[in-house]
């Protein structure tokens, strides 16, 4: 049985936005590695998962990209949050926190005494 987790539907965009918010302009490979580090390597992202999500976020106007040299002097696409992306991140983070609180209530219910 593997300790690796699947990315839940709807969570990858939030992880990407939060990663870019925290690190500033960053290339796709850096986003993937940071998400893996943050998840304590319980998530592994491949190109087929990450890059379509980055394209979708860029097309929606939540992130913008520009080409520049990476740390190893290779040309890479660096992603930054837009104002619209910051607003979406704030909304989705709040929604996920509410969902997590709701699930916690079911997973660890308080026992009521009468």
Q: To the nearest whole number, what is the mean pLDDT of the chain? A: 90
Closest CA to 20 of 86, 74, 69: 86
Domains of the chain in sequence order: 12-107 (1.10.10.10)
Summarised one tens digit per residue, pLDDT across range 34-88 is 999 999 998 888 888 899 999 999 999 999 999 999 888 999 999 999 999 999 9
Q: Look at residue 1 in the predicted model and tell me its pLDDT.
A: 42
26-27: strand order across its sheet? 26-27, 75-81, 63-69
User: 68 or 111: which carries more pLDDT confidence?
Assistant: 68
pTM of the predicted structure, to 2 decimals: 0.84
Looking at residue 68, what is its pLDDT?
A: 93
């Amino acid at each position: 049985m593997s300790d690796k987790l699947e990315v839940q539907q709807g969570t990858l965009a939030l992880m990407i936005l939060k990663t870019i918010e925290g690190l500033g302009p960053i290339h796709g490979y850096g986003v993937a590695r940071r998400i893996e580090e943050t998840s304590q390597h319980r998530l592994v992202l491949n190109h087929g998962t990450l890059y379509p999500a980055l394209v979708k976020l860029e097309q929606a106007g939540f992130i913008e990209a520009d080409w520049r040299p990476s740390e190893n002097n290779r040309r890479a696409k660096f992603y930054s949050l837009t104002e619209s992306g910051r607003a979406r991140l704030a909304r989705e983070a709040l929604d996920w926190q509410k969902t997590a609180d709701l699930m916690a209530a079911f997973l660890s219910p308080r026992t009521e005494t009468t």
